[in-house]
Amino acid sequence: MKTLIDTNVLVYAIDPAEGERRARATAWLEALARSRSGVLSTQALSELANVGLRRRRPHLDPDELTTLLDALRDAYEVLAVTPAIVREALRGVRDHQLSWFDAQMWAAAHLHQVPFLLSEDMAAGATYDGITIVDPFVTPPPG
């Protein structure tokens, strides 16, 4: 089953200070890449670049980030954030009380019929219009 990967999973996977969370995020990413069932949003790639450039210590340089983003693009299907996703995200905010960025992730999954959203930022096990939230730090990776 296809699974949309939230930015927080990507961030934990590149942060050596995260220990167990890094190991769990990496295990999920590897399992989803092996099964070719992982999906990313351009939103997640953009947010990861921002974290790498601004918040992560030490900062990653643009060349390192380019290499990382290229590897992610090659490993996973990537969905572009479109006007339809932005519009659907507004419905997610209204109907499901999701935060804006969580709503955009949910909307990408919903409009592309990706049944699972891998994120620690939303209620684990909750289902919004057929999209089930999977917390990678509660649920072990498949396989």
CB atoms within 10 A of CB 66: 12
Q: How far apart (Å, rounded) are the C-alpha atoms in residues 39 and 50?
A: 19
Taking only the tens place, the pLDDT of each residue in 95-131 is 999 999 999 999 999 999 999 999 999 999 999 999 9
Q: Which two tokens stand for residue 123?
A: 């209620």
CATH of 3-134 given 3.40.50.2300, 3.40.50.1010, 1.10.3720.10, 3.10.20.30? 3.40.50.1010
Q: Model pTM? A: 0.95
| End-to-end alpha carbon distance in the chain | 12
Max CA-CA distance within the chain?
40
